[in-house]
Structure 1
Amino acid sequence: MADAQEEARRIAERIRRARVSQRRSQHDVAAALGYHQSKVSRLESGRGTQDIRVLRAVARELDIPPHELGLAPPQDVSAADQEADDMRRRTFLSASIAALTAPAGSPPSHTALVQALLPGADPPGTGDPQDTAVLHDRVASALRLLHTCHYAELERALPGLIADLRQAADDATNRDTVSRLLATAYQTTTSLLLKRHDQGTAWLAVGRAMAEAERSGDPVVLASSVRVQAHVLVREQHATQAVTLVRHTAGRLAGSYDRRCPQYLAAVGLLLLRGVTAASRLGDRAATQEFLTEAKDVSRYVALDRPGAWATFSPTNVALHELSALVAFGDAGLALRAAQPLMRRPIPVPERRAALWIETARAYSQQGRLADGYQALRIAESCAAQDIRRPDIRSLVADMAARDRRRTLPELHHFSRQLGVPT
């Protein structure tokens, strides 16, 4: 424990010296990163210095070599992770231009997905029936693949689905219905691209989702599109704008929950949970609590917790986001206490089960309990093998391994190599 405290003080002092040498205020650095000033203040006082995501962002902003903050150096992170970091800094325009030509080495499925999102001529369809009921089932199947973390299969299925939906939209007399399905397909695409850390193409997908949602005139579909747009904003370090967007949209949809249909309630609830994520990234405890309180109110009236459901929202989902917020605030002890009852609760959706153990691993890492963190990650892998290979999880594993300087956990280093992140 003494070693961990000393390490936290050393990192805090290094951050403070870098900021002062550049003659920048805490507010200036926080604003550049999309955080609240309290986040930087906590770091410089030695609190929250185990939050790897924040440390990486601060290191980039203040030009601090990663190893000086106890992070894995750049050469220890895969090329895919470095490309993902570049994606975060792209604007919508540059992302759209970049999408015109898929990056060299991209798998055929990713190239096809990018091309399916481009404006202009419609991509070739699958030749499958265009009946609305069939298309509805195919969209539901795509959502199921997302919730069960079958990302490779989903990436192969989406281009043909989008093409068929676009063709159906051109031919259909029930344009509003097809627009709802198409918006949902674009929302699913956005979520997948964010899982892949391809924020550049995600901007393109969410733009199409918003256009179709507005065309449908359905407030449920619009709320879902706003939710994924807020997700992209948070990933692009625009959490303040995400909080404003969620608060404005949710404010128009809130109330009368006892008289709303399950789909409406799930859409509003998930939107509020996106607000929880955005506000906690800012270090704004008041806004986080505001969104959580409203989400808990919604969850009293609905529980859609199946992999095949149109949306996965329930009291369990609210509790998982509360856990994630505690981790974001650096309240590792409270987070681990919040995780305990969730570990005993059945969670049908694999993505959610994996999220529980990933956030638990982050909390253990914040406490310097690397062995426990490693075990939590292996449990997460058993829940959703593809989910654990996301760039942000590989980065977490790399940084945990880098902090095991005496190599007392050979299994952690072996796991890191298995994920393609040598240490």
Structure 2
Amino acid sequence: MVGGTVGCRIATYRRRRGLSQAALAGLVGRSESWLSQVERGIRSVDRMTVLLDLSRVLGVDVASLTGTPWRHAPNGADIGTSLDDVRRAFTSYQAAVGVSPGAAIRVGSLRTAVAHLHASYQAADYTDVAAGLPSLLTDVDRLHAASPPEDREAALVYVEAYVLAAKLVTKLGDGELATVAADRCVNVAVVTGSQVAVSLAMYQVAAALLRGDRVADAERVVMAMADRADRDLRSDHPALVSAVGALWLLGAVIAARRTDRPEAESRLARSAALADLLGQDANYGFTAFGPTNVAIHRVSVSAELGDARGALEAAANVDASRLPLALASRRAQVHLDLAWANAQRRRDAEATLHLLDAERIAPGAIRFNVITQEMVREMLARGTKGQTRALADLAGRAGLLH
């Protein structure tokens, strides 16, 4: 693997491909001056979608540009081992090969286990989720296989477990496994007749497609589901309002990834209307949906658009303390976006403070964010020893230093 910063790696792979700066910049929709600044280390690659575009044009994977595996954090050995167990659980097919369900499994106990692991996920404790997920999936598979088709509760807990599985493997970068998990969610959710279950499952399908850089497919799926489910909304069905609101928020992020600001704003406006209908910061269906999460997504959308000033302005309207304490990863996301915005404007001291806040709230949120990792490395490279001591300590704790 080529050494140096991301900018140095991009320059090396660009030359190997025989491309000029102007040619490569044009192929990824950026200016030649932007690419020149990136290669010289003056500015960072500000969006994951740009990294994906660069890797595709240069014929290398993202890890070759970032210098670290994309699927797992550098200090993620335990996660990697646990994900092997998750993969084995996905491919056990116990019902198909005639394995007995064994002792009776109660829906209530499984729902409790799902809630526990979902709480860990929302706290960015991905190691805990990866460790507990294999046995949970085995149990829901056995229950589903042993239950009659009309057992709606068994089907719903199956969907809840596989939604969680899809979230984890999407977060950790395994797009293929995420697609499998999301597909299983949808197939069973449809049978339940629950619009909430179908909406949450389709959200995961879109998230998996987006992780695989299939932006158009992700947008088609999420917007079709949002439009359909939106017709059935009632103020007395908060779980469905939350699920549909989450779909609109994902749609806004996808529009921003296409650099379509008007459409992103339109979708944010619809999600804000649904948050007003809900009337509170809640966590129905583990969506974390509510007015504050909409405000947080306004910051994220600006960051996705590469608009550092817009992200800073949107953040002024966010009061993350209003979120339930359990939603640590959502509260940390504000600080990650603000760290990025400040770093883009070379306000590294402010960026470092936001990173430290994010680490305090949810350490895992830093360890599994490629853009954040690269931002930290670039700030370390351009700062003096005295200026970057706190940042270097954070990078060490997050496993970003080798």
Scaled to the shorter chain, the TM-score interval is 0.7 to 0.9
Higher relative contact order (CA 8 A, sep 6+): 1
**SS at the partner of 1:341?**
coil
Q: Which moved more, 1:117-126 or 1:269-278?
A: 117-126
Q: Residue deviations 1:348-375, cap 9 Å, x none?
A: 2111111111111111122121221111
Indicate the residue corresponding to 1:157 in structure 2: 132
Asked if residue 359 in structure 1 is aligned to residue 354 in structure 2, the reply is no
- The one-letter code of the counterpart of 2:331 is R
Residues in 2 aligned to 1:325 and 1:316: alpha-carbon distance in whole angstroms? 14
**In structure 1, what is the Cα distance between the partners aligned to 2:32 and 2:276?**
37
Matched, 1:282 2:258: yes
Provide closer, same or farther for how the CA distance between residues 46 and 325 of structure 1 changes in structure 2, counting only shifts above 3 A.
farther
Match 1:77 to one of 61, 64, 67: 67
Tell me how far apart the structure 1 counterparts of residues 338 and 296 of structure 2 sit (CA, whole Å).
10
Q: Is the CA contact (8 Å cut-off) linking 2:72 and 2:368 kept in structure 1?
A: no
2:58 alignment counterpart? 63
The letter for the 1-side match of 2:334 is L
Is residue 371 of structure 2 the alignment partner of residue 398 of structure 1?
no
The residue matched to 2:277 in structure 1 has which SS? coil
Report the alpha carbon displacement of residue 43 of structure 1 after superposing the two structures with TM: 4.8
Contact 2:292 2:319 (C-alpha < 8 Å) held by counterparts: no
Rounded to whole Å, the distance in 2 between the matches of 1:62 and 1:256 is 43
For 1:224-260, what per-residue CA distance to the aligned partner results, in whole angstroms no more than 9, with x for missing partners?
Answer: 1111111122221111221121111111111464445
Q: Which runs of no fewer than 5 residues in structure 1 stay unpaired?
A: 1-11, 31-36, 86-103
- Distance between the aligned counterparts of 1:111 and 1:381, measured in 2? 27
Q: Is 2:94 the partner of 1:115?
A: no
* 1:378 aligns to 2:317 (yes or no): no
**2:307 aligned with 1:328:** no
**C-alpha contact (below 8 Å) 1:220/1:267 kept by paired residues:** yes
3-state DSSP of counterpart to 1:279: helix
> Unaligned regions of 5+ residues in structure 2, if any?
1-9
User: TM-score, length-normalised on structure 2?
Assistant: 0.81
2:192 corresponds to 1:216: yes
Distance 1:308 1:207, change over 3 A: closer
User: Which residue type is aligned with residue 200 of structure 1?
Assistant: E
1:309-354 deviations in whole A, cap 9, x for unaligned? 6431101111111110011112211211211232464222111111
Alignment match, 2:322: 346
Structure 1 residue 147 corresponds to structure 2 residue 103: no
Question: 2:361 is aligned with what amino acid?
Answer: C
Q: Which whole-Å CA distance do the structure 1 matches of 2:267 and 2:385 have between them?
A: 43
Residues 250-289 of structure 1 aligned to structure 2 (within 5 Å): 250-255=226-231, 257-289=233-265
Report the CA distance shift for 1:297/1:52 in structure 2 as closer, same or farther (over 3 A).
closer
C-alpha RMSD of matched pairs (Å): 3.9
Identity over aligned residues, as a percent? Answer: 23
TM-score normalised by the chain length of structure 1: 0.77
1:317 counterpart (293, 296, 306): 293
- Contact kept? 1:16, 1:44, Cα under 8 Å: no
Point out the more displaced range, 169-178 or 277-286: 169-178
Aligned pairs, number: 381
Distance 1:247 1:72, change over 3 A: closer
Q: Which moved more, 1:339-348 or 1:104-113?
A: 104-113
- Counterpart CA distance in 1 for 2:92 and 2:365 is 30
Deviations 1:296-316 (A, max 9, x none): 111112156456864311011
